[in-house]
Structure 1
Amino acid sequence: MDRTGLLTDRYELTMLDSWVRDGSVDEPAVFEAFARRLPEGRRYGVLGGLGRLLPMIERFTFDADEVAWLQEQGVVGEETAAYLRDFRFRGDIDAYREGDLYFPGSPVLTVSGTLGECVALETLVLSVLNHDAAIASAALRMVDAAGGRPLIEMGTRRTHEQAAIATARAAYLAGFGSTSNLAAGRDHGIPTVGTAAHAFTLAHATEEDAFRSQVAALGVGTTLLVDTYDIAEGIRTAVRVAGRELGAIRIDSGDLAEEAGKARALLDELGATSTKIVVTSDLDEFVIAALADAPIDGYGVGTRVATGSGHPTASMVYKLVEIAGRPVSKKSKDKISVGGRKLAWRRYDEAGLLVSEHFTAAPVVEVRRAQRGASKPPGADPRPVQIPVMRGGETVHAPTLDEIREFTAATLATLPSDARSVAAGAPYLTVTHLEEA
Structure 2
Amino acid sequence: MDTSTAFRTDRYELTMLEAAITHGTADRACMFEAFGRRLPGARRYGVVAGIGRFLERVRDFRFGDAELTWLSKNQVVGTRTLDWLANYRFSGNVWGYPDGEAYFPESPILIVESSFAEGVLLETLILSILNYDSAVATAATRMVNAADGRPLAEMGSRRAHEDAAVAAARSAYIAGFAATSNLEAGRTWGIPTMGTAAHSFTLLHGSEEEAFRAQVESLGTGTALLVDTYDIEKGVETAIRVAGPELGAIRLDSGDLPTLVVKVREQLDRLGATRTKITVTNDLDEYAIAALSSAPVDSYGVGTSLVTGSGSPAAGLVYKLVAHAGDNGEWVPVAKASTGKRSIGGRKFATRVHDDLGIATQEKVYVGLGPEDVGALPENERPLVVPLITDGQIDETHTGAAGTRRAREHHGVVRAELPGDAFRLGRGDPALPTVFAN
What is the TM-score of this pair, normalised by structure 2? 0.95
Which amino acid is the alignment partner of residue 435 of structure 2? T
Structure-1 separation of matches of 2:194 and 2:128? 28
Matches within 5 A, 1:261-410: 261-324=262-325, 325-364=331-370, 367-370=371-374, 380-396=379-395, 398-399=397-398, 400=402, 401-410=404-413
CA contact (8 A) 1:185 1:192 kept: yes
CA RMSD of aligned residues (A): 1.3
CA contact (8 A) 1:370 1:384 kept: no
Q: Which residue matches 2:140?
A: 139
The secondary structure found in structure 1 opposite 2:250 is strand
Tell me the alpha carbon deviations over residues 147-185 of structure 1, each in whole angstroms, 9 at most, x when there is no partner.
Answer: 110001000000000100000000001110000001111
Tell me the alpha carbon deviations over residues 286-307 of structure 1, each in whole angstroms, 9 at most, x when there is no partner.
Answer: 1111100000000000001110
CA contact (8 A) 2:246 2:276 kept: yes
Runs of 4+ in 1 over 6 A off after TM superposition: none
CA contact (8 A) 1:14 1:76 kept: yes
Q: Which residue matches 1:52?
A: 53
Q: Which residue matches 1:240?
A: 241
The secondary structure found in structure 1 opposite 2:165 is helix
The secondary structure found in structure 2 opposite 1:13 is helix
Matches within 5 A, 1:144-155: 144-155=145-156
Structure-2 separation of matches of 1:344 and 1:237? 58
Q: How far apart are residue 280 of structure 1 and its match?
A: 0.6
Which amino acid is the alignment partner of residue 368 of structure 1? E
Structure-1 separation of matches of 2:77 and 2:307? 37
Matches within 5 A, 1:208-219: 208-219=209-220
Which amino acid is the alignment partner of residue 372 of structure 2? R
Q: Which residue matches 1:415?
A: 418
Structure-1 separation of matches of 2:85 and 2:294? 59
Of residues 211-220 and 381-390 in structure 1, the stretch that sits farther from structure 2 once superposed is 381-390
Structure-2 separation of matches of 1:203 and 1:32? 54
Percent identity reads 51
Whether 1:118 and 2:122 are equivalent positions in the alignment is: no
Structure-2 separation of matches of 1:133 and 1:9? 21
CA contact (8 A) 1:388 1:397 kept: no
CA contact (8 A) 1:58 1:394 kept: no
Structure-2 separation of matches of 1:70 and 1:205? 58
Q: Which residue matches 2:428?
A: 425
CA contact (8 A) 1:105 1:432 kept: no
Tell me the alpha carbon deviations over residues 97-151 of structure 1, each in whole angstroms, 9 at most, x when there is no partner.
Answer: 2100000110110000000000000000000000000000000110111011000
What is the TM-score of this pair, normalised by structure 1? 0.96
The secondary structure found in structure 2 opposite 1:4 is coil
Structure-1 separation of matches of 2:62 and 2:372? 28
The secondary structure found in structure 1 opposite 2:311 is coil
Q: How far apart are residue 368 of structure 1 and its match?
A: 2.5
Structure-1 separation of matches of 2:380 and 2:179? 39
Tell me the alpha carbon deviations over residues 188-247 of structure 1, each in whole angstroms, 9 at most, x when there is no partner.
Answer: 111111111011111111100110111111111100000011111000000000001100
CA contact (8 A) 2:41 2:311 kept: no
CA contact (8 A) 1:321 1:329 kept: yes
Q: How far apart are residue 342 of structure 1 and its match?
A: 1.1
Of residues 420-429 and 186-195 in structure 1, the stretch that sits farther from structure 2 once superposed is 420-429
Structure-2 separation of matches of 1:85 and 1:297? 55
CA contact (8 A) 1:32 1:318 kept: yes
Structure-2 separation of matches of 1:58 and 1:92? 13
The secondary structure found in structure 2 opposite 1:398 is helix
CA contact (8 A) 2:361 2:419 kept: no
Tell me the alpha carbon deviations over residues 294-321 of structure 1, each in whole angstroms, 9 at most, x when there is no partner.
Answer: 0000000000111011110000000000
Structure-2 separation of matches of 1:290 and 1:149? 14
CA contact (8 A) 1:154 1:302 kept: yes
Tell me the alpha carbon deviations over residues 256-313 of structure 1, each in whole angstroms, 9 at most, x when there is no partner.
Answer: 1111100110000000111000001111111111100000000000001110111100
Q: How far apart are residue 370 of structure 1 and its match?
A: 4.1
Structure-2 separation of matches of 1:24 and 1:250? 61
Which amino acid is the alignment partner of residue 357 of structure 1? E
Q: How far apart are residue 369 of structure 1 and its match?
A: 4.9
Q: How far apart are residue 13 of structure 1 and its match?
A: 0.3
Number of equivalent positions? 428
Q: Which residue matches 2:157?
A: 156
Q: How far apart are residue 55 of structure 1 and its match?
A: 1.4
Extract unaligned runs of 5+ from structure 1: none
